[in-house]
Amino acid sequence: MNSIWFLDDLNLFTILCPHQFKNYKNAHEFYHYKKNDFVYFEEDNADKIFLITSGKVKIGYVTDDGDEIITAILSKGEIFGEKAILGEEKRNEFAQVIDGETSICPITSEMMMELLRENKEFSVKIYKFIGFRFKKLERRLQLLLFKDTKTRLKEFIKELSEDFGYKNVITGDMIIRQPYTQKEMATLIGTSRPTLNILLNELKEEHYLDFNRKEIILKNNNKLVN
């Protein structure tokens, strides 16, 4: 359930934000965006990593056919643009704000590399995080390419349960504190909001889950009676 900033009890914001460094504090400013503003476009220079202090940002790319593919929707406590420290010179994705009054803390690639050189344990954790992010992206793209919409939704909900869920010790159900709106969920699994709503209600009728605006309850099927 912890935010991605917190890797094995490591608070990336505390360590990465330039406000934490005396030499950078006075010169550094947060970036402030309004809804639909772009943080960067495809082909922009990849010279910074970004940390979200408030609001939401979607990450994606545009196919040759002009279709927009969203790979992640990130919120407070998450980082993006991390491929800048892997030698990427140009962005191969875009980052767009989807929540009004979004605030982002930038950190230059140079500063990040200094931190990696100075702290071996921190370096290991960062690269572990990047590997985890790539693995998650690969899994999501495989679902979009090869699975039907209902299967994509079920796999996505299982993923949410791993990141945001906790078990009800009495019923055995997984309670997922909903981090996304239905519109955002639909975008992430490559469908429309009306179709998502239909599928959620089908899964509810099948006793696979229950849901409301704040929570998704993934049922403990071992306790279900046919």
Pair 105, 30: CB distance under 8 Å:
yes
The whole-number pLDDT of residue 113 equals 84
The whole-number pLDDT of residue 76 equals 83
Nearest to 98 by CA among 68, 135, 132, 129: 68
Per cent of the chain over pLDDT 90 is 43
User: pLDDT by residue (tens digit) across 3-33?
Assistant: 443 444 445 555 555 455 444 445 457 889 9
User: pLDDT by residue (tens digit) across 188-213?
Assistant: 998 999 999 999 999 999 999 999 98
Give the span between the Cα atoms of 159 and 70, in whole angstroms: 16
Enumerate residues 6+ apart whose C-beta is below 8 A from 107: 16, 17, 18, 48, 49, 50, 51
Interhelix angle 120-146/182-189, rounded to 10 degrees, is 80
Please give the mean pLDDT across all residues of the chain: 83
| Residue 14: how many other CB atoms lie within 10 Å | 11
Confidence tier at 77 by pLDDT (50, 70, 90): confident
The whole-number pLDDT of residue 222 equals 45
CA 50 to chain centre: 13
Name the least confident of 31-35, 50-54, 154-158, 194-198: 50-54
Place of tokens 């140009």: 90
Phi, psi angles (nearest 5°) of residue 220: -80, 95
Pair 91, 4: CB distance under 8 Å:
no
